[in-house]
Each structure stands twice: as structure tokens, then as C-alpha cells.
Chains A and B, each alone.
Chain A
């Protein structure tokens, strides 16, 4: 396939274009005027957006998803920052073991993770509650949020902290004045990355919802199984838009090449 550079390049371009194709189809379909999904749409309208807005279930699921994503992102970022800071500064030998534990959920097939989380959340009687979902999301996002923070802390010049110390700063003061501001992009990356993952998580979350609480992706999933109304396309478009915005902000904050940097962790 790569014998001929032209062929490989064209294959690359075609495949690259195909990646967002299903998403673009949905966005197109969301503006359709017909009640069943067809493409290309016949006539443009915003009626499905209006339907989504006036069906209270959708704004509610949206608000819940945003809320859970925000709480999860903030907590997991703080937790990882504390851990990464402590191990790097005070217990580097512990770091290897800690990282092994933090990354271990990555090797769990999602379905098994879902069942494990059901078992855990049920133990606390939190099935069908926001705290239950947040708890599961914290564990799911833990490895993803750790890496950007770890990298930010590791690339911080240790002499900056020493300089602050010599000038009279206590460890806490240097943390507040130097370390945290200098790790800002890593912290923001962690917040956004964990936020996106939580906002879009479905495989684990769908086991944890209840009559009073459902997230946007889980609700889309339960509607997809029943009927393929274009309201779903409108909702999906909104969800895509949120993710897209987050990726653009990530790009501004840290640069997307962060995702393809090869540096341990």
C-alpha cells in the first residue's frame, strides 16, 4: 500500500476525510425538513432543534451532562495534581507504582468496567444519582487526566522552585506562585480532556442512570434503540459542537500535538 507514494497519500487523504463523515452526515440531517432521516435533506429547517429544546428531557440531560463533566474534571484534576506533585517532589520511587495503578483501568474492557462500576456504585447505594456517576467518571478519567499534569510538572525547571525558595518562599508559597501558574496549560489540558471524556462517556454511564437522571449520550442511546427521529440528529449536533469547541480550546491551550508527543507516561 505504501509502495507507491502517490497511492499511499491519496489513501491517507480519503481515509482522513472519511473519519468525520458520519458526523457531518448527522449535522446535515439535523437541518432536514422531513420527519425521517434522509440525506441529502430536502428543505432546510430548524424544527428538530426547536423540538429538542421544548422537550424538557433534552435540556435536562444536557445540563446534567455538563454538570457531571465539570465536577468530574475539576475533582480528577485536583486529585491527580496532588498525587503527581507529591510523587515527583517527595517520592519519585513511588511514581512508577502509582502510575501503574493509575493506568490500570485502561486495560479494562469497557463492558467489564461498566459491570465493576455498577457493583461499586451499588455498594454505596448511589445507582441513579449524580454522585454515583461522578464517582465512576473519576475512575474512568483518572489515567487521561494524569498524563498532561505529569508532563507539565516534569518539564517545569526545578531551579524555578529553588529560586523562589532562596528568595524566601515556603514550599506552599512556591507551589501557589510558581508551580501552579507554570503548569497552567497542563492543568487546563487535564480539565478539558477529562471534561470531554466525561461528557461523552456512555458505556459505563448507561448502567448507572436512574429514573431521575440520565446523561445526554445515554439518552441519545436509548432513543437510537427506539426510533431514529431527526431530533437525535439535532441533539447529536449540539454534542458534537461542544466537543469541537473543547478541542479547539485544547489546541489553543496546549497544542494538539500534545496527543502525539512521545514521552513516557
Chain B
């Protein structure tokens, strides 16, 4: 189903000033002695598709509820469109929201669900009909207006929830993991549809998810959260290639981790003692970490940055280590290698089209990487490690 009919979009897009900015300043939320959010700052520009990404319990849903006004912050301020929202109940904020379980009104028809907010605003019947029609067309449900909610499929319900919120032309649409209950196929369809609608309408979307792939696919910007703090706020490519710390690097994409210890810092070079000896890495690989001699660190390598060479290959300018291929797995366009290098297990990803030149499982090889691709992190603190199921 084509998600957004162009004419419908043209009618639905409001003549808009730069509505939809969010400013969060020093926002904290605590329940009794339990701190859920501690002092967040965040500025979202109007028209951005921003995703709050993090493991469960990181505070992303709490932040969403604070923006919605269901709960009040313990400290700090939230402003929407430059207006302070303190003390305003949800019904007085310029927001829309799509709930995780959608929260469609089961005793209303599809049309009545979409019309509800307009009725509350006393929109004249004629205009109301037109708007409901326009937005149902926008989400591709124009023909199902008189259905009961119970007669819809999961994806259709999703679209009703979206239309119901968008018809009110909110400055900001909050989406609380709305796709999590759907199967993969439908989920992918709706991710595209959602992104397309957002781009056309220019409404600010604040989308909560714990799925990093979903976040990367849809967002203009991602807020990575953990333990009640914002770890990083940036574009998806920046978050992947320039993660602020080890948590972000591990949460967004796959990462090989090699434990080490800082041996010394000379100019732009960091000397690190790894399991296989000392290596000199450029200081540009430091990620939010100022190295002190003897401090433990983690060298991080993305799987696609590891090249696999024959054992006798020449690899000048690169760091090479002897290793063995444990497994070679074909995953469509890519090959996934599990390698062993001493005690260390590494994952490498190469293009399947280069497969002929690459060793088979069981073969000895040379593992190589460019020192500039190595990232140097501070090891995770215990609570953050726990969210990856690791023992510190």
C-alpha cells in the first residue's frame, strides 16, 4: 500500500511557521528516592524526526511522558515552540501522541476516532468531515472510515492512531514504541510510511524505541539514553562513526572490544598495551576519554573495519595480528567472519562479492586494521555493562 497519497499530503500540510521546537533544560524526574532522569538538556529543532533510543529502563519513556505532560518534572523546564510547559496538562499542550498499545477508542468507529479531537475543538461539521477524509486518505484508510476498530488489522489500527493525532496538526507528535507489536514485514512498511509522512508534513516527531536499526532508519537525529542520562545526541551516521562513549558504540551497531591499558601519551599518539603487545594509535580515536597512563581502556573496532588477509600478506601502514577463521557465514550481501586472535574473539564483516579472495573456516589468516579506525573508550561502569547482560 502506498503510504502517502501526494494530493492528500498537499492538503494535509498546514501552512506552517516554525512550529515544533522542543527545549529541555535541566529536567530531572525522581520517584521518592529513585532517580529516573537526572538533569537532561536537549534542544530539538522544528521539523526534526528525533528518536529517543535506549534499553528499557533508560528513561526514554519517562522523558516522552514529561514532554506530553502526563507527569511533571522534579526539576528543570520543558518548552515547546518557545513556550514554557510547566504546569500545563496534556490537553493544553500543542502535542499529539501515538501510544504503544495505540489506545484507539473501541466504542467509536474509525471516523469517530479521527474526528474526536476536532469535535473537542468545535470544528464546524463540514470542515471536520473534510479534514477527517483528508487525513484518512493520507494514511491510506479513506475507504474504511465507517469500520469499527475491532474490524481492523494491526497495521490499519496503527494508521488510524496516526491519523487521529495528525488531524489536529500538533507542533509535535510523540510516538511511544508504536510499532513494537507488529511483525517484521509490516513494521518495515510502516517505518517507511511514517518517515515519509513526517517529511511531507514537517511535523516534529519524537519517536521512542529500543531498536537501534529502526532508529537509524527513520531518524534525522537520535538521542541515545542510558541510566537516566543522555549519552549522545546526533545524526545517525555521526552516532555510528563517532560514538560518544563505549555504551553508545555498543548500543548502536556491532563492536569488537579489545581490553587494554594506557601505556603512554606522546603528542598525537596513544600507546596502548593490548593482549598481544603494545600498539600506537592516533589520538583522534579517543572517544570522550582523556587517557592517563596505567588507566584501563577498551579498543573498539567496527566489524567492517577489519580486513582479513592471507597469513603471509604485506600490510604496511596497518596493524596486523595473526589469527584463525573459526566460522565463515554467508548473510546475503555480506560475509560474516568469526575470528580468533590469541584469547580474543573478533567479528569481521566483508562484502560477499570479495568472497573468493577470503579464507575459509579453519584457515590461518592475518587480521589487519587501520590504526585510524580504532576507537579508544573508557570501560563501562557496572550499571551500563549490566544493560548488555555483562558482568563488569
The answer to whether A and B interact is: yes
A residues sitting closer than 8 Å to B (CB atoms) are 157, 159-160, 162-170, 173, 177-178, 181-182
Q: Are A166 and B68 in contact (CB under 8 A)?
A: yes
Q: Are B117 and A157 in contact (CB under 8 A)?
A: no
- Of residues B95, B100, B105, B168, which shows the largest number of chain A Cβ atoms within 10 Å of its Cβ? B105
Chain A residues, Cβ within 8 Å of B90: 162, 165-166
Q: Is B369 an interface residue (CB 8 A)?
A: no
Q: Is B130 an interface residue (CB 8 A)?
A: no
Q: Is B388 an interface residue (CB 8 A)?
A: no
Q: Are A168 and B103 in contact (CB under 8 A)?
A: no
Chain B residues, Cβ within 8 Å of A182: 106-107
Chain A residues, Cβ within 8 Å of B168: 167-168
What residue in chain A is nearest B167 (Cβ atoms)?
A167
Chain A residues, Cβ within 8 Å of B95: 166
Interface membership of chain B positions 35-73, coded 1 if the CB is closer than 8 angstroms to chain A and 0 otherwise: 000000000000000000000000000000000101000
Q: Is B99 an interface residue (CB 8 A)?
A: yes
How distant is the Cα of A169 from the Cα of B107 in the complex, in angstroms? Answer: 16
How distant is the Cα of A159 from the Cα of B177 in the complex, in angstroms? Answer: 14
Chain B residues, Cβ within 8 Å of A181: 107
Chain B residues, Cβ within 8 Å of A165: 70, 89-91
Given contacts A162-B70, A162-B97, A162-B99, contact A168 B91 (CB under 8 A): yes
What residue in chain B is nearest A173 (Cβ atoms)?
B120
- Chain B, interface size: which category? 20 to 34
Q: 15 A-B pairs, CB-CB below 8 angstroms? A: A159-B99, A160-B103, A162-B97, A164-B105, A164-B116, A166-B90, A166-B96, A166-B165, A167-B96, A167-B117, A167-B164, A167-B168, A168-B117, A173-B120, A182-B107
Chain A residues, Cβ within 8 Å of B70: 162, 165
Q: Are B103 and A157 in contact (CB under 8 A)?
A: yes
How distant is the Cα of A159 from the Cα of B96 in the complex, in angstroms? Answer: 13
B residues sitting closer than 8 Å to A (CB atoms) are 68, 70, 89-91, 93, 95-97, 99-101, 103-107, 116-117, 120-121, 164-165, 168
Say how far A71's CB is from chain B's closest CB, in angstroms. Answer: 28
4 smallest CB-CB distances across A and B, nearest first, come from A167-B117, A159-B103, A163-B103, A165-B90
Q: Are A160 and B97 in contact (CB under 8 A)?
A: no
Chain B residues, Cβ within 8 Å of A160: 103, 105
Q: Are B120 and A178 in contact (CB under 8 A)?
A: no
Given contacts A165-B90, A168-B168, contact A157 B96 (CB under 8 A): no
Chain B residues, Cβ within 8 Å of A170: 91
Instruction: List 13 extra interface pairs beyond A159-B100, A165-B90, A166-B96, CB under 8 A.
Output: A157-B101, A159-B101, A159-B103, A160-B103, A163-B97, A163-B103, A164-B116, A165-B89, A166-B68, A166-B93, A167-B91, A169-B116, A182-B106
Given contacts A162-B70, A169-B120, contact A178 B91 (CB under 8 A): no
Say how far A184's CB is from chain B's closest CB, in angstroms. Answer: 8
Say how far A245's CB is from chain B's closest CB, in angstroms. Answer: 26
